[in-house]
Chains A and B, each alone.
Chain A
Amino acid sequence: MNWTWFHRLGSPPHFFRIAGKMIPWFAWAALIAAIAGLIGALGTAPPDYQQGEGYRIIFVHVPAALLSTMAYAVMAAAAGVGLIWRMNVAHAVAASSAVVGAWFTFVALATGSLWGRPMWGTYWEWDPRLTSELVLLFLYLGFMGLRSAIDDTARADRASAVLALVGVINLPIIHYSVDWWNSLHQGHTVLKFGKAAMPPSMLVPLLLMMLAFTLYFAAILLVRTRGEILRRERTARWISEAIGSG
């Protein structure tokens, strides 16, 4: 297998240039998917036979929850790559992913709480899914706190990468918590035993919203990573060629 692309991505000028070209594509695709998804989510999708119109919260809750775990997986993978191959760009990706991940973990918890009040009768329950998602938020905050507590960027990269990799254990716990324990939280929303757990009129808008959140994450991650690369490489000669001297 040819790994040239991987090594080229590790080059800050190359990554900076490629990311700059890809951001508008991700951003516009995210906007189109979000508009199409919202038309279904708030319009064409029928009410749920049990939860009525209240179930429409899932169209933002599930994509936010997906983004919260996806951002952690990206952060941990990038941190691992940075730790093993000493790739500066990978550490920049990990640092950038954490902020977005933390925000959307908060969104997943807040919207889940708003869904829980009318459906369960409570805003919060120490349920395995909710608790493991809260642990995820603390892992993000710990990762960012550790980075900001260490002045030396290289040391901050290494220390936070170890924390990110240890925290990966929480991802399967979040995903399988509804199977492993008796949970108040409903089972898998999109797929149940390989079959869709909802009709296409609900599933399609949900998939579109998940796609929109994923594309949005890609766009924001690249904007943040470009900024992080500029911060780290500010003394490098290629920077003035890439951004001009104003």
Chain B
Amino acid sequence: MMLHWLAMGGYWPFVWPSYLIALFAIVLNIVLARRAFRRARDDARRRARSQRDAS
């Protein structure tokens, strides 16, 4: 039953890579977006701290 479903009527070499590519792009975009945000936030925090220390 499971193997029959995974075989996708013989189209598995095309169906599953399509879903994997989409999943990869979805996860990668989440990781990249969060990393870009964290980097910008940490940079802004560093600046705020150095401004506070200078004053």
A residues near B, CB below 8 A? Answer: 42, 47, 52-54, 56-57, 60-61, 64, 99-100, 103-104, 106-107, 110-111, 114-115, 117-118, 216, 220, 223-224, 226-228, 230-231, 233-235, 239-240, 243-246
Contacts and interface: CB of A to CB of B under 8 A. Distances in A.
Main secondary structure of the interface of B (DSSP, over half): helix
A56 B22 CA distance: 13
Nearest to A38: B19
A244 B48 CA distance: 9
B55 to A, nearest CB: 12
5 tightest Cβ-Cβ pairs between the two chains A and B? A53-B9, A227-B37, A54-B11, A230-B40, A240-B48
Interface in B23-47: 25-26, 28-30, 32-34, 36-45, 47
A216 B39 CA distance: 21
Main secondary structure of the interface of A (DSSP, over half): helix
A230 B44 contact: yes
B29 A107 contact: no
B4 to A, nearest CB: 10
Nearest to A100: B29
Contacts of A53: 8-11, 15
A216 B28 CA distance: 13
Interface of B: 5, 8-11, 14-15, 17-19, 21-22, 25-26, 28-30, 32-34, 36-45, 47-49, 51-52
Nearest to B39: A227
Contacts of A235: 47
B34 A223 contact: yes
A235 B45 CA distance: 10
Nearest to A222: B33
A103 B22 contact: no
A180 to B, nearest CB: 27
Contacts of A110: 18, 21
Given A111-B22, A234-B44, A243-B44, A57 B14 contact: yes
Contacts of B37: 223-224, 226-227, 230
Nearest to A47: B9
Nearest to A43: B5
A187 to B, nearest CB: 20
A115 B40 contact: no
A241 to B, nearest CB: 9
B29 A220 contact: yes
A103 B25 contact: yes
A111 B48 CA distance: 45
A234 B9 contact: no
B11 A227 contact: no
Contacts of A226: 37
A115 B14 contact: yes
Contacts of A234: 40, 43-44, 47
Nearest to B33: A223
